[in-house]
Structure 1
Amino acid sequence: PGEVAKRSGVAVSALHFYESKGLITSIRNSGNQRRYKRDVLRYVAIIKIAQRIGIPLATIREAFGVLPEGHTLSAKEWKQLSSQWREELDRRIHTLVALRDELDGCIGCGCLS
């Protein structure tokens, strides 16, 4: 996991956490060390992107759950997945802009006192 952590830019503990949540998988070698398949780097990159935009781990797990074990996402699959997440991100942006505008309207009106 040290090499995967280094290449993916996440801590070893994060890899273990992702594994405990069913987001990635590993196999154990004879020395009981975790070994990850090559595609885990892509999955970790997707997890990082999704977390940055606020997608819950459960939602990420659901998205990964429909894929066969050890499957590498195609460009078409990534586009479909990211478009779903983009819709969620757009909703969040809309909500935040509305909250910001509401807050701006409250300045000086006395509703915050």
Structure 2
Amino acid sequence: MTLEANLAVGTVAKRADVAVSALHFYEKKGLIRSWRNEGNQRRYKRDVLRRIAVIKAAQKMGITLEEIKVTLSSLPDNRTPTKADWETLSRQWQQQLDEKIAYMQRVRDYVNGCIGCGCLSMDRCPIYNPEDKLADVDSGAVLLDHPKIND
């Protein structure tokens, strides 16, 4: 099978089940590439379909487009991931997902009693911030973003 850039944007959009505007967006973000034919129309190589499938799967897992871009750019020559590559990529993303899960668990644990201090409830606050010591750390809801403070 040749990897000539001969798929039209509409064909790729239909086969990948994404809007044409999504393809343009992915391209602008550096996630996929197209080439221009003699008529200056975008053309894609067939392997872009697998690349888009990886992007969509990663997005469903909660991986941001920037994280996807960084991970995909780690592949040699920015190639489309193989099955073996997917195993490596997914392991990297598992760590990111574990961190997001831990963050969301902290948010869940504080949602009823704490806004992460810029405190609205000095009399009920489970972590009271005497003399605004957290101001040296950061502003806003700092406790949710600084797990070491919670430990």
How much does 1:69 deviate? 4.3
Q: Which residue of 2 aligns with 1:99?
A: 107
Would the aligned equivalents of 2:13 and 2:19 in 1 still touch at CA under 8 Å?
Answer: yes
Q: 2:26 aligns with which of 18, 43, 63?
A: 18
1:33 aligned residue: 41
Structure 1 residues without counterparts, runs of 5 or longer: none
| C-alpha deviation, 1:35, in angstroms | 0.9
Amino acid at match of 2:107: L
1:45 aligns with 2:71: no
More contact order relative to length (CA 8 Å, sep ≥ 6)? 1
Find the aligned partners of 1:40 and 1:85 in 2 and give their Cα distance: 21
Instruction: Using structure 2 for the length normalisation, give the TM-score.
Output: 0.63
* Superposition RMSD in Å: 2.4
Identity %: 51
Name the residue aligned to 1:74.
Answer: 82
Residue 67 of structure 1: how far off its partner (Å)? 2.5
Aligned counterparts, 1:58-73, within 5 A: 58-69=66-77, 71-73=79-81
Q: TM-score, normalized by length of structure 1?
A: 0.81
Note if contact 2:35-2:42 (Cα within 8 Å) is conserved in structure 1: yes
Partner Cα distance (2:99, 2:48) in 1? 29
More displaced stretch, 11-20 vs 48-57:
48-57
3-state SS of paired residue (2:45): coil
Deviation track 1:4-55 (CA, whole Å, cap 9, x = no partner) reads 1111111101101111111111111122211111110111111112223332
Structure ID, larger Rg? 2
- Structure with greater proportional helix content: 1
Letter in 1 for 2:59: Q
